[in-house]
Structure 1
Amino acid sequence: MNGFVSWLPVTAAPAGLRLAVKDVIDVAGMPTGAGNPRWLATHPIPEQDADVVQRLRREFTVVGKTHTDELAYSLTGTNAHYGTPVNPAAPDRMPGGSSSGTATVVAAGLADLGLGTDTAGSIRVPASYTGLYGLRPSHSRVPRTGIVPLAPSFDVPALLARDPQTLRAGARLLLDAVSPATLPRTVWWPGDIPVAPDVRDLLRGTLSRLVGAGLELTTAPLFDSGGWDRIRAAFTTVQAAEVWEQHGDWIRRERPIFGRNVSARLQLAAEVTPALAYEARSILREAADRLTRMLGEDRVLALPATPEPAPPLDDPGHARAAVVRLTCLAPILGGPSVSLPVARYHGLPLGLSLLAAPGRDETLLTLAELLSGQGPRTFAAESP
């Protein structure tokens, strides 16, 4: 399977459930390459598992490490050095990143659970593109030791699975403490979601099972005019500042070669001034306060996981900004988000994302199980 990197030879099928680990997360005795050959050459082989790997080993067997976009700083799933993992749901389409290899091996049935990371959507985007369930946990409930950082304010280890039961089994091992899985009163589907009308209508229809279970549906706008883009731009600025803080010295010292898109992103990151970062952080604090007040303990926010299905592999204009507009809210809030494979658009998987207040991970897992019995809704009008 193109895109699957097995650093350890597996001579027989492992007993129990199989775990694939993204190549920014340490597994004892296996190199951590962060998607870049120079990183691989300049860092020692870890002697210990990352904390999250230790937790999952209680019930899962590590079968290998998987491709990632370089330094996990991309959402397409492509890699200039190691190639692009094949999307089993659509081989001529991007798999999504940066947890690209993790998503493709789980979608292909080569692993039962995928362990990756999510900063700006790196679990939820590939989940949407490959037709998987994905969980980005609350920041406060998972350890991050033994993981190559990207932007520490937003980084979190995260999970992928083909079914919600396996996702919950992984979450039970991964998460600190236990939160009661009480159902919210309201599911909030904002009327100002910046996606095409047919995508909005298709995914809104998938919420009928939650409404049938007694949840109220509200469509109040989420932001004032221009709010989505203002917050996305602030998030991108803060993320870039933190990326350069983490990796700027190494990049200047080692002069690694990066693919075109990642290289351009890093050049911009090097130019973010402290004043720009300070201003952007103030915008994010205001957005987080607003989301906290509006979600409370009895409301779940529903959004498209991505604004469209997986783009073609040869599409040079992947709309990163349009994706990040949707995916940046969970890292800004620090709350959990789950991506659900509830729809097909022109025959391609398209995910729904649910977001809740920090600590409400179990609530989202319960809602994922509730929605999983619905079967995918489809939109199959004439292709554009």
Structure 2
Amino acid sequence: MTDPFIRTIHSTESDSHATGPLAGLRLAVKDLYDIAGIPTGAGNPRWLETHDIPTSDATAVARLKDAGATVVGKTITDELAWSLNGTNFHYGTPTNPAAPGRVPGGSSSGSASAVALEAADIALGTDTGGSVRVPASYCGLYGLRPTHGRIPMDGVVPLAPSLDTAGLFARDASTLRTAMDVLYQSANPTSPITTLIAPADIWDSVDPAVREALYPAIEGFGLEIDRTPLLDDIAELETARQTYATILAWEAWQQHGTWIEQARPEFGPGVGARFANAAKLTQDDVTPAEQHRERITTLIREHLTDGAVLAIPAAPGPAPKPDAPFDREALVRMTCLSGLSGAPAISLPLGRVDGLPVNLQVIAAHDTDESLLKLAEQS
């Protein structure tokens, strides 16, 4: 395990002269976001070699800095953000203090680690298919994936633009909400959450230890609980995962295929294999995936109305050890519904299994992010 920072920018002390709602808060930034005068490496040395140093901040970074946050460093990310484990072939695996000897989760691994280690108060990550929600779960943090498109992604290295979002980590819900208010710039009206949809089909497929750890948290909100199955067949959750994987791979190759063929970067085994498979996809593979995505989006929109939100685990279990078998498919089955539909989702540190954190994931209707943040403050 290693330090979460790939590049230190300031000391880990906040700027005592800063003003604004985030004054006194230390900000860590995933090494996908541009910071003027600082290289953006995207987790891969060849990317660093072949791209110019940015001359301006990404919008998300600029908003947080303008509100008084002090950037303390750029953090390790899985290569080009295409992983969920948090191990980087070139730069190592950031420490997870909440689960010593275990991975922090990726691809926003360094950002989660920095907040969990208290080397930063807030940290920017990105979430394409769980890369904020999963590290938040593994490290016992609050983490938010906003409604897709609500926070500008200019100045951020993309992976799959129709899935990519900015995201943020914090150790407490109040800090998360304050920082997210800054990122949003303008607030949407907050509608009360009245119903937690905890579908029996999904919860019955979850490891009993995780179910026993998290289900009391659902009951603890004191809201109506709807256990009606979400899907016609639980096998459709695997179809949704495959749909997500196909769209992600297709878009990732469209974004980076030319650079990969020209620059010939060295990738770690998992990332390299995923890009190699992505290069083989055709439009015939993508068209049915896009059609099924519409089905999932419609399903989520139809259920998340009138104050109802979907409550399911953020991950199928606690953080695994680096050398343990990694069930990527099981993980993505828990995270893909939000990614495919573009709905906001929050990861709440409300459970433990064998002393290790496991988070509850709550998914809400589009543009009701503020309702999730308010729910987090009530948790």
Which TM-score applies when normalising by structure 1? 0.93
2:364 is the counterpart of 1:363: no
How far did residue 7 of structure 1 move?
A: 4.0
Aligned match of 1:325 in 324, 333, 338?
A: 333
Kindly, what percent of the aligned residue pairs are identical?
Answer: 50
Aligned to 1:10: 11
2:68 is the counterpart of 1:67: no
Structure 1: gaps of 5 or more residues: 372-384
Give deviations 1:151-189, integer Å, cap 9, x for gaps: 000000100000001100110001142112221221100
Given that residues 141 and 176 in structure 1 are in contact (C-alpha distance below 8 angstroms), is that contact kept between their aligned partners in structure 2? no
How far did residue 29 of structure 1 move?
A: 1.1
Aligned to 1:382: none
Given that residues 132 and 160 in structure 1 are in contact (C-alpha distance below 8 angstroms), is that contact kept between their aligned partners in structure 2? yes
How far did residue 203 of structure 1 move?
A: 1.0
Structure 2: gaps of 5 or more residues: 17-23
2:34 is the counterpart of 1:33: no
Query: Greater CA deviation, 174-183 or 361-370?
Result: 174-183
Aligned to 1:146: 155
Given that residues 10 and 71 in structure 2 are in contact (C-alpha distance below 8 angstroms), is that contact kept between their aligned partners in structure 1? no
The 2-side partners of 1:7 and 1:275 are apart by: 45
2:208 is the counterpart of 1:207: no
Given that residues 209 and 370 in structure 1 are in contact (C-alpha distance below 8 angstroms), is that contact kept between their aligned partners in structure 2? no
Aligned to 2:149, what secondary structure does the other structure show? helix
Which TM-score applies when normalising by structure 2? 0.95
Aligned match of 2:361 in 353, 368, 377?
A: 353
Counterpart amino acid of residue 217 in structure 1? I
Query: Greater CA deviation, 88-97 or 36-45?
Result: 88-97
2:154 is the counterpart of 1:181: no
2:227 is the counterpart of 1:223: no
Aligned to 1:53: 61
Aligned to 1:376: none
Aligned match of 1:163 in 172, 185, 193?
A: 172
How far did residue 272 of structure 1 move?
A: 1.2
The 1-side partners of 2:135 and 2:12 are apart by: 29
How far did residue 11 of structure 1 move?
A: 8.4
Aligned to 2:209: 198
Given that residues 3 and 83 in structure 1 are in contact (C-alpha distance below 8 angstroms), is that contact kept between their aligned partners in structure 2? no
Aligned match of 1:107 in 116, 123, 134?
A: 116
The 2-side partners of 1:12 and 1:113 are apart by: 13
Moved over 4 A (4+): none
The 2-side partners of 1:178 and 1:10 are apart by: 32
How far did residue 314 of structure 1 move?
A: 1.2
Counterpart amino acid of residue 2 in structure 1? D
Given that residues 141 and 177 in structure 1 are in contact (C-alpha distance below 8 angstroms), is that contact kept between their aligned partners in structure 2? no
Aligned-pair Cα RMSD in Å: 1.2
The 2-side partners of 1:96 and 1:140 are apart by: 24
2:88 is the counterpart of 1:79: yes
Relative to structure 1, the CA distance from residue 7 to residue 30 in structure 2 (aligned partners, 3 Å threshold; closer, same or farther) is farther
Q: Give the 5 Å matches for 1:372-383.
A: none
